[in-house]
Amino acid sequence: MAKIRKLVIPAAGLGTRGLPFTKEIPKEMLPIIDTPTLQFIVEEAVSAGIEQVILVTSKGKSAMEDYFDPSPYLEEFLRSKGKNDLADCVKRLGHLVEVLSVRQKEPKGLGHAVLCAKPIVGNEPFAVCLGDEIFAPWAKGGVQGLKNLVRSAEETSRSVIGVLKVPEDEICHYGAVDAGGKEFGSESPVPILGTVEKPPAKLAPSLYAIIGRYAFQPEIFEALESLSPGSQSEIQLTDAMNTLAKRGRLDGMLFTDRRYDIGNHLYYVLAQVDSALHRPELSAKIRPLIQKLLEEK
């Protein structure tokens, strides 16, 4: 049983959904109150047993790697001001996990971004988390989905992806999976027969959407390398997953964690509010303020 030790975070995109903020700042650094989205993802991965994070980046994205570097001078300054809790937080970030980066020099799609990490990943199973999706660690029960994917992939030596059931009018925005009519659960993997990228609702094989959490066996690299560039000269990860599915090498598991798409303005705001309502120093103050805003509206 090969242990999954490495996580790939594709983060080379232009972040157009977050403009103008993301013109100079990576979307993965969008904060939920005072915590960057990227930190939530890395902490989720560490809790799932990940030891090394590989950022697939492009020009202007160095802030992500810098964020996890030790900052002894900042720690010293904070302690001199008596802010030991903040100093401890900064110290923890600098020792949380090993973070490496590799460049995706051309925007050739998500599949190509994952393939860029192959020289570091090598011939090992690995996880992938998309940088604009977070699962609320403050919610009851914490975040279990990635842990379940990693556990299943380690036990079965098969690739396993996260799925979520979405409304019919939303499936066209996701990759959809064909499981032969079977229902997914969060504890046991279900074999996937095929995947389709952003199908019209009437042609979707199911309403189970592929979300941004994956645990792959190294054979995904071979599948990616065998693909010809498709629309806009991109290599799609969904197409490579379909190759694995046709070989009988792909499973899916249902995610029940509370999910937020940070690139969607509505869900980004909801993530902020949800996080604030779960922070003791903010919750009691924000509730009457929200109520007041609703009444004034």
Give pLDDT, residue 24.
77
Q: Which of 141, 205, 199, 147 has the alpha carbon at shortest distance from 170?
A: 199
Three-class DSSP category at 2: coil
* Residue 241 confidence class, pLDDT cut points 50, 70, 90: very high
Give pLDDT, residue 186.
80
Q: What is the DSSP string of 107-169?
A: ---HHHHHHHTHHHH-SS-EEEE-TTEEE-TTSTT---HHHHHHHHHHHH-SEEEEEEE--GG
Question: What's phi and psi for 129, nearest 5 deg?
Answer: -125, 130
- The Cα diameter of the chain in Å comes to 63
- Helix H segments across 31-109? 37-47, 62-67, 72-80, 84-94
pLDDT tens-place string over residues 37-51: 999 999 999 999 999
Structure-derived torsion over alpha carbons of residues 40, 252, 256, 265, reported in degrees to the nearest 10: 50
- Rounded to whole angstroms, the Cα distance separating 57 from 74 reads 26
pLDDT tens-place string over residues 49-107: 999 999 999 887 888 999 999 999 999 999 999 999 999 999 999 999 999 999 998 88
* Omega cis (within 30) before 20: yes
pLDDT tens-place string over residues 102-122: 999 888 899 999 999 999 999
What percent of the chain clears pLDDT 90, i.e. is strictly above it? 82
Q: Is the pLDDT confidence value at 1 over 80? A: no
Question: Any idea which residue has 């952003």 for tokens?
Answer: 198
Q: Which helix (H) or strand (E) holds 281?
A: helix 280-296
Conformational region of residue 49, where left means phi above 0, alpha means psi within -120 to 50, and beta covers everything else? left
